[in-house]
Amino acid sequence: MAREYVWLECTECSSRNYRTPKEMRGTDRLELKKYCRAQRRHTVHKESRKK
């Protein structure tokens, strides 16, 4: 199983708040609604690769 860690980045303030493992074979990019500490509310977080 090819699993890799990806970062979840807030779409509004661009801060990386969460890191989660993900199966890399044939999957779409993650998009979850998570809590952002900078915004102090739930926002959409999208997957971004670690730089």
Q: What is the pLDDT of residue 3?
A: 84
Q: Is the pLDDT of residue 47 over 80?
A: yes
pLDDT band at 41 (very low <50, low <70, confident <90, very high): very high
Q: What is the pLDDT of residue 50?
A: 66
Q: What is the CATH number of the domain that holds 7?
A: 2.20.28.120
Distance between alpha carbon 13 and the CA centroid of its chain, in Å?
13
Q: Is the pLDDT of residue 17 over 80?
A: yes
Domain containing 42: what range? 3-48
In this prediction the pTM is 0.81
Higher pLDDT, 32 or 49: 32
d(CA 42, CA 51): 25
Number of domains in the chain: 1
Q: Are 41 and 30 in contact (CB under 8 A)?
A: no
